[in-house]
Amino acid sequence: MQLMDEFITYWPWLFLLLPVAYLFGWLKGRRGTKTDCADQAASLSSDYFKGLNYLLADQQDKALPVFLQLVQVDNETIDTHLALATIFRRSGKLDQAIEVHQNLIARPSLSPEYRSKSLLELGRDYLAAGLFDRAEGLFNDVIKSGYYAQEARQYMLTIYQQEKEWHEAIIVAKALIQQGDSTLRPLIAQFYCELSESYLENGNIKQALTACKDALAYYPKCIRAVILKAKIAYASKQYKDVIKYVKQLEQIDADYLPTVLDLCISSFRELSKIPELINYLQSVEQHHPELNLTDIVVGLINENNDDDSAFEYIQQQIKQAPDINALSTYVNMLSNKTEPSSGLGNVKQLLEKMRVNTDQYQCRKCGYTSGTMNWHCPSCHSWGEIKPITGNINAKN
């Protein structure tokens, strides 16, 4: 059983190296007599199975020299060496992968194209090992060579994102766009938004706004940039602009409204326009009932000392779009209007436990959830896929 498990673990080696044994037995046989061919094939077969035994015994350090000797480096065998190193890297044997690629690069007879390919793969080894500085230097060498430049820039983009070096990431992404990769425009917008948030945190309002404009120049539908413009406007006490950007966000994707709702409410308050705020939120709830704004609207109506209107509104909402949050608010208001009842109190406690927690966020791509908003998913590393969790829970459910 153990032998079978080991075989399953190392079957990719067998897949690669069986043709290798055949290929090099044939190649070497072409260069000698029939007798020499038989002797060489026997030697190759012995070395081949010796290497396999090392692999099955989990002794990759001993297997590596055997296979490197079995497959001599020249332009005819370089692809086999590269494939061998790839298997090492994918199985987590980074030291062995690095050794194979360094052995290739050390060959002066290697063609420029294959040398660039080997440098690229060595960079990938260092990238997998977390040695970003070494990987970046190798990728730069690949770009200078003129071969595999696009692939090298893609890996450099990965490094700069992990290192949060947004200026460098923008430069590399722009170079990729110039080579025809227009899909990176939304990504560049995210990088500019990262810069904008950094500027805003440091109080550099002007630079933050410039970065936002750059983001929208590359991707006009960038929701994050619109949200940032609302934050920048609020920091600048331009409350009318905040409301304008919030309404703009609603038109693009209303699911993101919870991320700026506090700014919206505060801006209306600063302008002493609570009735207009109530009307706006009622309109939003009518068009987007999944946002669960009933509690907020009811609170604002109560704030204007109009309890009857608030109670009437909550009753209307329950009829139109019943959900746990609205029902819980209704029971709370009803308990304040009637005599204390143990039955009503129990219902009240039950509904409180069932209330929807709207302060949650979820990635649409991988399902990752979080209590805070992340524009870069920590799980699948996608950008702009995390959204506030919204949705009605119907009373019948």
What CA–CA distance (Å, rounded) separates 194 from 164? 9
The position carrying tokens 């600048």 is 236
Domain 2-171: assigned CATH number: 1.25.40.10
Whether pTM exceeds 0.85: no
CA distances from 148 to 145, 169, 200, 365, 370 (A): 8, 18, 38, 30, 38
Fold that domain 188-272 belongs to in CATH: 1.25.40
User: Please, what is the average pLDDT of the chain?
Assistant: 79
With CA atoms as reference, report the closest residue to 92 among 137, 60, 50.
60
pLDDT of residue 74: 53
Are 393 and 324 in contact, with CB atoms under 8 Å apart? yes
Model confidence at 237, pLDDT cuts 50, 70, 90, reads very high
* Residue with more model confidence, 4 or 142: 142
pLDDT of residue 30: 47
324-379 pLDDT, tens per residue?
Answer: 666 666 666 666 666 656 566 666 666 666 665 544 889 999 989 888 889 999 99
Q: Of 102-116, 224-238, 309-323, give the range with the top mean pLDDT.
A: 224-238
Task: Choose the weakest-confidence range: 111-120, 127-136, 358-367.
Answer: 358-367
pLDDT of residue 245: 96
Specify the CATH class of 357-397 in words: mainly beta
* Largest Cα–Cα separation, the chain: 108
Are 265 and 258 in contact, with CB atoms under 8 Å apart? no
Q: What angle do CA 284, 290, 295 make, to 5 degrees?
A: 70
Model confidence at 52, pLDDT cuts 50, 70, 90, reads low
